Amino acid sequence: MPTKSTKKFPKISIVMPSFNQVDYIERSIRSIIYQDYPNLEFIVIDGNSNDGTKEILDKYKDNFSFYISEKDNGQSDALNKGFSYATGDIYGWLNSDDLYLPNSLFLISSLFLKNHDKKIIFGDWLSIDKNDRILDFNHAFDFNLNHFKYEGFHLNAQSMFWRSEVHKNFSGFEIDLYNTMDYQMIMEFGINEGEKSFLRAPYVFGAFRRYTGQKTSNFNQRVLKEHKKIASKYFYYDKYSFRGEIKRLIYRARRAIWYLYRGGFLNLLRRIKLAYFS
């Protein structure tokens, strides 16, 4: 039963998949528990780490609603397992090397209470280095499903929350996706719930860490194979045809307009330089 101090706050379930992130996981945990959100369900699924991560998890285990450390089949498997234990009204997923910004959970709770017709709320996000220094401020764009299909990310799963009903409609993370499970999730949310269910909020909720050696640092053949698998699953395989290339260019122009709109002309020039001349 909710107490008087918690019943006015919707329960937020945060799932953290973990494997051998001893250098970062304590900061990730603290970014959640130091929110001091009064109705938090914090679920940690560790893949039997062997680098000292489990000792850190044991240190904070009293802050977890559910915690298990056992061999699994990767991050997608851990996420499926974690969300199967979630009982909240609002869901979120934070990687064990990323961060939530202070007050994010109170903000997202308020936004969902004020926007009953919205099912997925997302904001801007930071890119940070291994020492938490800010590398970039990333502006999110209003969600467009075809843009997401044919051109790519314009929001970040580490700065996004969704109602429990959205996850109940989700088919689950494909176990053999090693890099692109966030792309699959957002794709299916867009297909199932529709673009009008998304709300872009003018806040930064999360920080995505970039560092040498992380599995998302390089686009490679594995990632391409995974994207093709997702395109086949959700019936837009024309992405890899001439027609799809034309669509990509159209949505690349939309990206440029959003860079200009959200960050100004200098931001647009900087993004072009990063994309084509770095």
- Structure token digits, residue 215: 């599995």
Residue 248 resides in a domain: no
Q: Please report the pLDDT score of residue 113 as a whole number.
A: 98
- Structure token digits, residue 11: 């329960």
Q: Please report the pLDDT score of residue 216 as a whole number.
A: 61
**pTM for the structure as a whole:** 0.94
Judging by beta carbons within 10 Å of its beta carbon (0-12, 13-18, 19+), is residue 26 exposed, middle or buried?
Answer: middle
Residue 257 resides in a domain: no
Q: What type of residue is 174?
A: E
Q: Please report the pLDDT score of residue 221 as a whole number.
A: 87
Q: Please report the pLDDT score of residue 2 as a whole number.
A: 45
Q: Closest Cα partner for 76 from 183, 174, 170?
A: 174
Phi-psi region of 196 (alpha: psi -120 to 50; beta: other; left: phi over 0): alpha
What's the distance, Cα to Cα, between the start and end of the chain in Å? 55
Q: Please report the pLDDT score of residue 67 as a whole number.
A: 97
- Domain count for the chain, please give it: 1
For residue 275, how far is the Cα from the chain centroid? 22
Q: How far apart are alpha carbons 134 and 172 in whole angstroms?
A: 32
Q: Closest Cα partner for 163 from 86, 228, 85?
A: 86
Residue 271 resides in a domain: no
Q: Is the pLDDT of residue 4 over 90?
A: no
Nearest-5° angle of CA 253, CA 259, CA 265?
105
Residue 274 resides in a domain: no
Q: Is the pLDDT of residue 132 over 90?
A: yes
Mean predicted confidence (pLDDT) in 97-109: 98
DSSP for 90-149, written as a single string: EEEE--TT-EEPTTHHHHHHHHHHH-TT-SEEEEEEEEE-TTS-EEEEEPP----HHHHH
Residue 263 resides in a domain: no
Buried b (16+ CB within 10 A) or exposed e, 229-260: ebbeeeebeebeeeebeebbeebeebbeebbe
Nearest-5° angle of CA 165, CA 167, CA 169?
75
Residue 262 resides in a domain: no
* Structure confidence at residue 1 as a pLDDT band (50, 70, 90): very low
- The domain in which residue 215 lies consists of 12-240
Residue 223 resides in a domain: yes
Q: How far apart are alpha carbons 101 and 31 in whole angstroms?
A: 7
Residue 40 resides in a domain: yes
The helices-and-strands tally (H runs, E runs) of the chain is: 9, 9
Q: Please report the pLDDT score of residue 220 as a whole number.
A: 84
Q: Which residue has the tokens 């209003």?
A: 142
Lowest mean pLDDT among 105-114, 184-193, 218-227, 268-277: 218-227
Q: Please report the pLDDT score of residue 278 as a whole number.
A: 75
The per-residue pLDDT for range 180-222, each reduced to its tens digit, is: 999 999 999 999 999 999 999 999 999 999 988 766 655 688 9
For CA atoms 94, 98, 104, 106, the dihedral sign is positive
Residues 6+ apart with CB under 8 A from 264: none
CATH number at residue 159: 3.90.550.10
